Amino acid sequence: MNDFLTPPRVGRRAFKVWQRDRDAWYKFYKPSLIGNIAEPVLFLLAFGFGLSKYITDVGGMPYINFIAPGIVISSAMNAASFECAFGSFTRMSAQKTYDAIIVTPVNIEEVAAGDIMWGATKGFISAMIILPILVLFGLIESPWLVLSPLLFALAGLMFASMALIVTAFAPSYDFYAYYFSLVVSPMFFFSGIFFPLDTMPEWVSMAAWFMPLTHAVSVSRALATGDVSFTLLGDVLWMLVFTLATSWVAIKFIRRRLVK
Amino acid sequence: MPEVIIEASALHKEYSGFPAVKGIDFAVAKGECFGFLGPNGAGKTTTMNMVQGYSPITSGTLTVFGMDRRKDHRNINARLGVVPQENNLDPDITVLENLLIYARYFDIPKSVARERAASLLDFMSLTDKKDERIPKLSGGMKRRLMVARALINEPELIILDEPTTGLDPQARHMIWQRLGELKSSGRTLVLTTHYMEEAEHLCDRLVIMDGGKILTEGTPRKLIKKYVKGSVVELAMPESGPARVLECLKGIEFEHEVSGSVLYIYTEDAATALDKAACFAASGFRHRQATLEDVFLKLTGRELRE
Ligand SMILES: Nc1ncnc2c1ncn2[C@@H]1O[C@H](COP(=O)(O)OP(=O)(O)OP(=O)(O)O)[C@@H](O)[C@H]1O
Ligand SMILES: [Mg+2]
């Protein structure tokens, strides 16, 4: 427990783990990019166009414009979560990649931190690919858009470290079904992507406040619409604190799992 | 007095309460090849894992290159090469990339890494396979690549946990030859093995472990001399059992062991033993030089482990 409170010993070598993940990904990046684009575009088509007949405007904008910023950020969530769930689990158990690295000068904490950074990168890439598509279709117009990459990076780190905590406890791939169906999917549907939270009963928006995706969605929407205010700093601070906590916990628990 | 590379004293390891290594002492000198022998579950891998900094020590002291194993992970591991019992090559990337990416963990500049990788692939006869992905390699090639990868940082100390298990005789001899060359170039080797021939061939000194303890230590030759004399006579026992046989053999100095229907006699005076064998009409016998395997079986017993 004592060890849990000492700061993780993460140095520049974590970057080497990130490089390893990048190089391995580079071999297969084409199929994985197609998956990254297909899913959010399908959601936009299905919900945006499909429902636009019935929902004419939400918060003063067409429904598809309303959901677009949330769809972008949820794609960062999905990509980062998948990477640090299935990807990290494979590296940790089946491939024993972690075992090979920790007998070099790179330590366990750096392996975990490198994997979080890589998961974040996957999330970042995923959102950055969709963003221009949305701009092209005129769904996002505000110049505040230029700050989006920072948001994607932060959201990537946040969801990557959450998933890595699950990996630290996962006995098998099946275990992730709990995480995705009990945590990731509810966030996707109840974090204000598809309907404005302030029109919901108070307890819903209160519950939503505890979901990391809610804060990412509200920042993303503000940057997309240009409706930027100081309340966003609260969301950003929430995400920063939460990310610091989850990455700390993830690194410590991966360490505990790997030490034999 | 040669420089000491590894020094362990009262080294102890527990896995959540289960003692796998029970307070062992050993020291490895610079430039020697030091072997760990022992049946399955003896604690060899556990000991290697502690030396590599993969498993934390429960108690005792362990220094590597004169540095405290608990404190100096980076500085020790920068000078260490590791071939673990189970291969852990990166399956997503090619043979060459496995070496180049591993080199990065040691801060080896790219151009140096490329040169070293090329010469290591040559050293391990893998140059033809450099662009192959790992799942396409045979077991022997994977093992050779594991050895090549362990050498990428030009380590002073190389730890090999069963480097040749499961390999064909060609691959095994090839690895032995390479390990011999590494030793001649002044590297220190620590290896575990289940092949007595490998230990006799490569190790200057070795220990035999069982149940987490070191039973004995010495050069292969001295151990053979100490425990099993010069030669072994294996006798197929008559149905009446060993009593009659032992009576016949009275008068000569020997040690013996009964296992199944075979009587093993360890003696320097094999001729007399064989002479006397006539007295009980042995149905078959074999006379051979004593090997390390005899020492091993004598010390660790013949029952199956785990
Ligand atoms: N991670 C672990 N958790 C709990 N017990 C373990 C663990 N690793 C090994 N053991 C136990 O510790 C003992 C020593 O195991 P170790 O792997 O060191 O033996 P070994 O001499 O290398 O055997 P082998 O020749 O089969 O490789 C065994 O009883 C084993 O079951
Ligand atoms: Mg072993």
For A33-102, give the DSSP string.
HHHHHHHHHHHIIIIIIHHHTT--EETTEEHHHHHHHHHHHHHHHHHHHHIIIIIHHIIIIIS-HHHHHT
- Average pLDDT rounded to a whole number, residues B209-230: 88
Between chain A and chain B, the number of residue pairs with CB atoms below 8 A apart is 66
- pLDDT tens digit string along A201-253? 888 888 899 999 999 999 999 999 888 888 899 999 999 999 999 999 999 99
| pLDDT of B290 | 83
Contact list in B for residue A257 (CB cut-off 8 A) is: none
Q: Is A12 on the interface with B (CB under 8 A)?
A: no
Residue B44 clears pLDDT 70, i.e. is over it? yes
Among B93, B168, B155, B166, smallest CA distance to B130 is for B93
The distance of B208 to chain A (nearest Cα, Å) reads 24
The distance of A254 to chain B (nearest Cα, Å) reads 14
Q: What is the 3-state secondary structure (H, E, C) of chain B?
A: CCCEEEEEEEEEEEECCEEEEEEEEEEEECCCEEEEECCCCCCHHHHHHHHHCCCCCCEEEEEECCEECCCCHHHHHCCEEEECCCCCCCCCCEHHHHHHHHHHHCCCCHHHHHHHHHHHHHHCCCHHHCCCEHHHCCHHHHHHHHHHHHCCCCCCEEEEECCCCCCCHHHHHHHHHHHHHHHHCCCEEEEECCCHHHHHHHCCEEEEEECCEEEEEECHHHHHHHHHCCEEEEEECCCCCHHHHHHHCCCCCCEEEEECCEEEEEECCHHHHHHHHHHHCCCCEEEEECCHHHHHHHHHCCCCCC
Band the pLDDT of B177: cuts 50, 70, 90. Answer: very high
| pLDDT of B232 | 83
Task: Tell the residue nearest (CA) to atom 6 of ligand 1.
Answer: B15
Residue B283 clears pLDDT 70, i.e. is over it? no
CB atoms within 10 A of CB B260: 7
Say if residues A192 and A214 touch (Cβ distance below 8 Å). Answer: yes
- pLDDT tens digit string along B128-142? 999 999 999 999 999
Give the β-pairing of B213-218 and B67-68. Answer: unpaired
- Looking at chain B, the domain(s) classified CATH 3.40.50.300 span 4-218
Q: Judge: B82–A103 Cβ closer than 8 Å, yes or no.
A: yes
Say if residues A63 and A48 touch (Cβ distance below 8 Å). Answer: yes
- Average pLDDT rounded to a whole number, residues B280-304: 78
| pLDDT of B1 | 61
Pocket test for ligand 1, best of B16, B45, B57, B209 (most atoms within 8 A of CB): B45
Band the pLDDT of B277: cuts 50, 70, 90. Answer: low
Smallest-distance ligand from the CA of B21: 1
Band the pLDDT of B274: cuts 50, 70, 90. Answer: confident
The distance of B92 to chain A (nearest Cα, Å) reads 6
* C-alpha to C-alpha distance for A25 and A77, rounded to whole angstroms: 18
Smallest-distance ligand from the CA of B36: 1
Residue A50 clears pLDDT 90, i.e. is over it? no
Residue A100 clears pLDDT 90, i.e. is over it? yes
Band the pLDDT of A2: cuts 50, 70, 90. Answer: low
| pLDDT of B306 | 57
Q: Is B67 on the interface with A (CB under 8 A)?
A: no
Contact list in B for residue A260 (CB cut-off 8 A) is: 15, 49, 54-55
Taking every pair of Cα atoms in chain B, the longest distance, rounded to a whole number of angstroms, is: 74
Mean pLDDT check: name the lowest of A108-112, A177-181, B106-110, B289-293: B289-293
- Looking at chain B, the domain(s) classified CATH 3.30.70.260 span 230-289
Contacts with B15 (C-beta within 8 Å, 6 or more apart), sequence order? A260
* C-alpha to C-alpha distance for B104 and A114, rounded to whole angstroms: 14
Question: What is chain B's length?
Answer: 306
Closest CA in chain B for residue A17: B105
Task: Tell the residue nearest (CA) to atom 25 of ligand 1.
Answer: B40
In chain A, where the domains are located: 2-259
Task: Tell the residue nearest (CA) to atom 17 of ligand 1.
Answer: B45
Q: Which of B49, B53, B91 sits opposite A95 (nearest CB)?
A: B91
Angle at A30 between CA A25 and CA A31, to 5 degrees: 95
* C-alpha to C-alpha distance for B195 and B162, rounded to whole angstroms: 9
Q: Is B214 on the interface with A (CB under 8 A)?
A: no
Q: Which pair of tokens denotes residue B25?
A: 């002492």
| pLDDT of A49 | 75
| pLDDT of A203 | 87
Contact list in B for residue A16 (CB cut-off 8 A) is: 104-105
Say if residues B117 and B100 touch (Cβ distance below 8 Å). Answer: yes
- pLDDT tens digit string along A183-211? 999 999 999 888 888 888 888 888 899 99
B305 alpha carbon – ligand 2 mean position (Å): 13
Contact list in A for residue B89 (CB cut-off 8 A) is: 100
Interhelix angle A29-43/A108-136, nearest 10 degrees: 50
Residue B218 clears pLDDT 80, i.e. is over it? yes
Residue B282 clears pLDDT 70, i.e. is over it? no
Q: Judge: B105–A101 Cβ closer than 8 Å, yes or no.
A: yes
Q: How many helices (H) and strands (E) does chain A have?
A: 14, 2
Interface test with A, best of B94, B104, B132 (most A CBs within 10 A): B104
Q: Is A196 on the interface with B (CB under 8 A)?
A: no
| pLDDT of B65 | 96
Q: Is A31 on the interface with B (CB under 8 A)?
A: no
The distance of B171 to chain A (nearest Cα, Å) reads 23
Q: Judge: B93–A23 Cβ closer than 8 Å, yes or no.
A: yes
Which residue ranges have their beta carbon within 6 Å of ligand 1?
A 260; B 15, 18, 20, 38, 40-46, 85
Q: Does the domain made of B230-289 have the CATH classification 3.30.70.260?
A: yes
Place of tokens 């505040």: A144
Mean pLDDT check: name the lowest of A24-28, A32-36, B27-31, B168-172: A32-36
Band the pLDDT of B229: cuts 50, 70, 90. Answer: confident
Mean of pLDDT over chain A? 91
Which has more pLDDT, A214 or B166?
Answer: A214
SS3 A228: coil
Radius of gyration over every alpha carbon of chain A, rounded to an integer in angstroms: 19
| pLDDT of B261 | 77
Contact list in A for residue B97 (CB cut-off 8 A) is: 23
Contact list in A for residue B101 (CB cut-off 8 A) is: 19-20, 23
Closest CA in chain B for residue A104: B77
Among A76, A4, A8, A65, smallest CA distance to A36 is for A76
Say if residues A179 and A167 touch (Cβ distance below 8 Å). Answer: no
Band the pLDDT of A29: cuts 50, 70, 90. Answer: confident
Band the pLDDT of A45: cuts 50, 70, 90. Answer: confident
Interface test with A, best of B80, B105, B154 (most A CBs within 10 A): B105
The CATH-assigned architecture of domain B4-218 is 3-Layer(aba) Sandwich (3.40)
Q: Is B154 on the interface with A (CB under 8 A)?
A: no
% residues pLDDT > 70 (chain B): 93
Residues 7-36 of B with CB under 8 A from A: 15
